[in-house]
A = this chain, B = another copy of it.
Amino acid sequence: MWGIIATWRMAHDGIVAASEQLKNSGKAGDAAETCIKMVEDYPYYKSVGYGGLPNEEGILEMDAAYMDGDTFKIGGVAGIVDVANPVSVARSLSDHKFNSFRVGNGATKFAQLEGFERKNMMTERSKKMYDLRLEEMKEKGLSAYDGHDTIGAVSLDQSGSMVAATSSSGLFMKKAGRVGDSPLSGSGFYVDSEIGGAAATGLGEDLMKGCLSYEIVRLMGEGMHPQEAADKAMYSFHHKLTKRYGKAGAFSLVAMNNKGDWGVATNVEFTFSVANDKEEPAIYIAQMGDDDKTIIEPITQEWLDAYEKRIKTPIDQLGK
């Protein structure tokens, strides 16, 4: 038995590669890291790693985490810059008993001292998008916080070990040092190999109000199927936050238990990719259901074509 699930269509190539590893007795940690590194490395995904979108000062600050479900060890970075693969830095930190969550300059310093690949993570495309947004804000006074598509993955290997990991460049145009849920245990991710794991994407400021990843794992521990656990945790908090805070931001969560069964809950349109020993890697699209049950359908070729076209819009056509 093995499996891996991750947030957004962008995860799919990584899911395909990681599932080959898991099929061939690869480790859960290697599979999760492979999946996320592929997203970090791909220049057309604008919310994770290389080609991500910067903060309001034009600095691309990134957050990432790694959690081992066998031992609960966690590594995390927040506000790290100029490093090719934040998830690998987080994984390395998870081996430290102390100082395993590092932020700002201290995180970047650790990555440099340890020899992680240094890289200017801005591309010509992300620079152009930043310039366009600055102009737009000057003209229309927009304060637009869109774009918070974190990659979050949960993997299970044939030995029964599970890992959860995340990586994100956070909100486009965020304030310097802003951190969302991605590197925060319980909110952005959680995993227990004896139960299962979950990972989140959406508005970090609201996700950390609910500790939804922890709650989904806990509910799976009570015996719920991942789909039931994800729907119950996400929708009940969506309703609670709407009532108490006035509005709930975007929440999307993926979950997998230690048998490779999976589930997803969302309150927006949300794509994801999943594979296990019974199901070939596939992309799905999910939406909020009326009865607090997420609606999940296979992705269409039409959707994929439109997505491909959108992310690869020629740079001179951006903003037109």
Q: What's the number of copies of this chain in the assembled complex?
A: 2
Given A73-B209, A187-B185, A211-B211, A103-B241 contact (CB < 8 Å): no
Once the chains bind, are A245 and B186 in contact (CB under 8 Å)? no
Chain B residues with CB under 8 A of A210: 72
* A145 contacts partner chain B, Cβ-Cβ < 8 Å: yes
Extra pairs beyond A55-B106, A103-B177, A105-B177 (11, CB < 8 Å): A72-B210, A72-B244, A78-B78, A97-B205, A98-B145, A99-B174, A99-B175, A101-B205, A185-B209, A186-B187, A211-B211
* A102 contacts partner chain B, Cβ-Cβ < 8 Å: yes
Mask, A193-225, CB within 8 Å of B = 1, is: 000000000011100111100110010000000
Most B CB contacts (10 A, CB to CB) among A107, A110, A175 go to: A175
Once the chains bind, are A106 and B178 in contact (CB under 8 Å)? yes
Once the chains bind, are A109 and B184 in contact (CB under 8 Å)? no
Q: List 14 A-B contacts (CB under 8 A).
A: A70-B244, A72-B210, A72-B245, A102-B175, A103-B104, A103-B177, A104-B104, A105-B176, A106-B175, A184-B186, A211-B211, A211-B214, A214-B215, A215-B218
Chain B residues with CB under 8 A of A101: 178-180, 204-205, 208
Once the chains bind, are B72 and A102 in contact (CB under 8 Å)? no
Question: What's the Cα separation between A241 and B72 when bound, in Å?
Answer: 8
Chain B residues with CB under 8 A of A272: none
Q: For the complex, would chain A's binding face be called helix, strand, loop or mixed by DSSP majority?
A: loop
Question: What's the Cα separation between A102 and B97 when bound, in Å?
Answer: 24
Once the chains bind, are B103 and A79 in contact (CB under 8 Å)? yes
The size class of the interface chain A forms with chain B is 35 or more
Q: Which of B61, B104, B174 contacts A79 (CB 8 A)?
A: B104
Once the chains bind, are A103 and B100 in contact (CB under 8 Å)? no
* A270 contacts partner chain B, Cβ-Cβ < 8 Å: no
Given A104-B103, A211-B186, A109-B73 contact (CB < 8 Å): no
What is the chain B residue whose CB lies nearest that of A61? B106
* A275 contacts partner chain B, Cβ-Cβ < 8 Å: no
* A71 contacts partner chain B, Cβ-Cβ < 8 Å: yes
